[in-house]
Amino acid sequence: MQSEPVLFELRHVAHRFPLPQGELTVLKDICFSAKEGEFIAIVGPSGAGKSTILRLISGLIHPTEGMILFKGQPLSGINLETALVFQNFALLPWLTVAENVELGLEARGMDIAMRRRKVAFYIDKVGLDGYEEAYPRELSGGMKQRVGLARALAVEPEILLMDEPFSSLDALTSINLRDELLDIWSDRDFPVNTVVMVTHMIEEAIELADRVLVLSSRPGHIVGDMLIDLPRPRDKREKVFSEYVDKIFSLIA
Amino acid sequence: MNTPIGPINPGHPPEIQALPQTGISEILGLVELLKSKGGKEDIYKLAAELKMELGDTLAVIRGAELLGLVHTPGGDVVIEPIGEKISRSRINARKNLLREQIEKLPVFHALISFLKEKDDHQATRDQLLEKLAELIPNENSEQTFTTLVTWGRYAELFGYNDDSQTFYLDSGK
């Protein structure tokens, strides 16, 4: 991991929103870089600007101060090498599973034969074979999020961004999806291997990530940057695991 | 919940049972959770820990039990070797293992033969609901239908087109 090149970097990034009176500082002096292949989790209370960081990395919004570098180059405009998985799935209800997965590919100007191949490949990868013609309304939350994941993976982004991907799911479904996400991420033949995931659940961050960035709120700033040096699968009942939980909790509280 | 299914006795026609309303992800989550807990947990403790409705938790356990992944002695839920194996497998391997379990269910057998007798190996939603009412009287056919579609799609045994409301044998298998 140490020898991997830096994929992107945030340098003294601040983000402010204008208000009728003055402005609201959402993020203040955010500095961190991510190596290729790293799984980073960002934890913090709501209002700490966690989702804003994802949107800054994707180039959907731009920092008020500071800069973002992608492969050493300053990012301007949308970063097409990112794809986002949403908390509420964000599927189009009138499209089938296969059509939802294809959505991002069409927008990137891929020809139809290639699109169909990619759709079939990623539907298979997330275990959705058999559901191609189903509509989102026919699916459980777990299957909907698999569609969201397949759609993001299908564009083969260099950075997979996940915004609270498991918080709308029941406890058992989220156990299953976390496990399968690790399965996909650890598959080194996969073109997508750098992940940035936002969560408000400390245990989820420690279970999944190589590294946890801890944010404190108002304005959001980094109060901790911790490597999680535990083999996977990680056992919540282990003492080291709860020590990590305590350490992160004390940084936020 | 009160009637553990046990092994199917080949000497007798297997009893066709209604399917609980539960999805594949929940069932997989249950076996993964049990594995991480050493294979066994008290059902009420489990429901409390998961912060899920007891009824929903029981539906998941019932589904996992029908599929032979767990059994429920007393108030506990205990993982079976096949459930353990599934929890250790990767996405597509577990799909194959679970398909083998789904295929064993008598209701799937009955519907596969039913569809094979039909033209084009397909039936309308209404025909299928009627067949289910005949196979499993006194049970909610709509609920079994929903689960059949979910499990059938996952196992690639059945397909269902909600636009045309047709239920069919998945030839992709």
Tell me which of A3 and A96 has the higher pLDDT.
A96
Q: Where in chain A is the domain with CATH 3.40.50.300?
A: 6-81+158-252
Distance from CA of A142 to the nearest CA of B (A): 6
CB contact under 8 A, A236 and B156: no
Distance from CA of A150 to the nearest CA of B (A): 13
pLDDT at B1: 46
- How high does pLDDT run on average in chain A? 94
pLDDT at B138: 85
Question: Over the stretch A24-56, which tens digit does the pLDDT of each residue have?
Answer: 999 999 999 999 999 999 999 988 899 999 999
Q: What is the mean pLDDT of residues A58-75?
A: 96
Report the distance separating Cα A250 and Cα A109, nearest Å: 48
Report the distance separating Cα A213 and Cα A235, nearest Å: 20
Question: Over the stretch B130-164, which tens digit does the pLDDT of each residue have?
Answer: 999 999 998 889 999 999 999 999 999 999 999 99
- Per-residue confidence band for B173, with pLDDT thresholds at 50, 70 and 90: very low
pLDDT exceeds 80 at position B14: no
Q: Of B63, B55, B70, which Cα lies nearest the Cα of B25?
A: B63
Which of B24, B45, B53, B153 should we substitute to test contact with A (largest number of A Cβ atoms within 10 Å)?
B153
pLDDT exceeds 60 at position A232: yes
- Give the one of A131, A170, A235 whose C-beta lies nearest to B52's C-beta: A170
pLDDT at B110: 94
- Is the pTM value of this prediction over 0.80? yes
CB contact under 8 A, A133 and B159: yes
- Per-residue confidence band for A2, with pLDDT thresholds at 50, 70 and 90: low
DSSP, res A128: -
The DSSP element (H or E) to which A172 belongs, if any, is: helix A171-185
Question: Over the stretch A195-229, which tens digit does the pLDDT of each residue have?
Answer: 999 999 999 999 999 999 999 988 999 999 999 99
Check if B91 contacts A (Cβ < 8 Å): yes
pLDDT exceeds 50 at position B88: yes
Contacts across the A-B interface (CB distance below 8 Å): 89
pLDDT exceeds 60 at position A65: yes
Distance from CA of A83 to the nearest CA of B (A): 22
What amino acid is encoded at B129 in this protein? L
Q: What is the mean pLDDT of residues A182-203?
A: 90
Contact status, residue A123 vs residue A129, Cβ threshold 8 Å: yes
Of A143-147, B52-56, B169-173, where does mean pLDDT reach its minimum?
A: B169-173
pLDDT at B12: 63
Q: What is the mean pLDDT of residues B84-92?
A: 95
The DSSP element (H or E) to which A194 belongs, if any, is: strand A194-199
DSSP, res B121: G
Token pair of A220, please?
Answer: 């959001």
Per DSSP, the three-state class of A251 is: helix
Instruction: Kindly identify which residue of chain A lies nearest to residue B30, measuring between CA atoms.
Output: A172
- How high does pLDDT run on average in chain B? 91
pLDDT exceeds 90 at position A84: yes
Among residues of chain A, what percentage have pLDDT more than 90? 85
CB contact under 8 A, A134 and B170: no
Question: Over the stretch B36-70, which tens digit does the pLDDT of each residue have?
Answer: 999 999 999 999 999 988 999 999 999 999 999 99
CB contact under 8 A, A135 and B92: no
In sequence order, which ranges of chain B are alpha helices (DSSP H)?
24-36, 43-50, 54-66, 81-88, 91-103, 106-116, 125-135, 141-154
- Per-residue confidence band for A184, with pLDDT thresholds at 50, 70 and 90: very high
Strands A159-163 and A194-199, sheet pairing: parallel
Report the distance separating Cα B158 and Cα B160, nearest Å: 7
Within 8 A of B91 by CB-CB distance, chain A residues are 125-127, 180, 183-184
Within 8 A of A143 by CB-CB distance, chain B residues are 23-25, 150
On the question of a cis peptide bond just before residue A219, with omega within 30 degrees of 0, the verdict is: yes
- The chain A residues in contact with chain B (CB within 8 A) are 124-127, 129-131, 133-135, 138, 140-143, 146, 169-177, 179-180, 183-184, 233, 235-237
Residue spans of the domains in chain B: they are: 24-92, 99-169
DSSP, res B171: T
Residue bearing tokens 């539906």: B59
Distance from CA of B31 to the nearest CA of A (A): 9
pLDDT at A132: 96
Check if B147 contacts A (Cβ < 8 Å): no
- Per-residue confidence band for B11, with pLDDT thresholds at 50, 70 and 90: low
Torsion of CA B71, B108, A180, A178, to 10 degrees: -60
Of A145-149, A202-206, B17-21, where does mean pLDDT reach its minimum?
A: B17-21
CATH architecture designation of domain A6-81+158-252: 3-Layer(aba) Sandwich (3.40)
Q: Which CATH class is domain B24-92?
A: mainly alpha
Instruction: Kindly identify which residue of chain A lies nearest to residue B96, measuring between CA atoms.
Output: A127
Q: Of B156, B157, B82, which Cα lies nearest the Cα of B113?
A: B157
- Per-residue confidence band for B13, with pLDDT thresholds at 50, 70 and 90: low
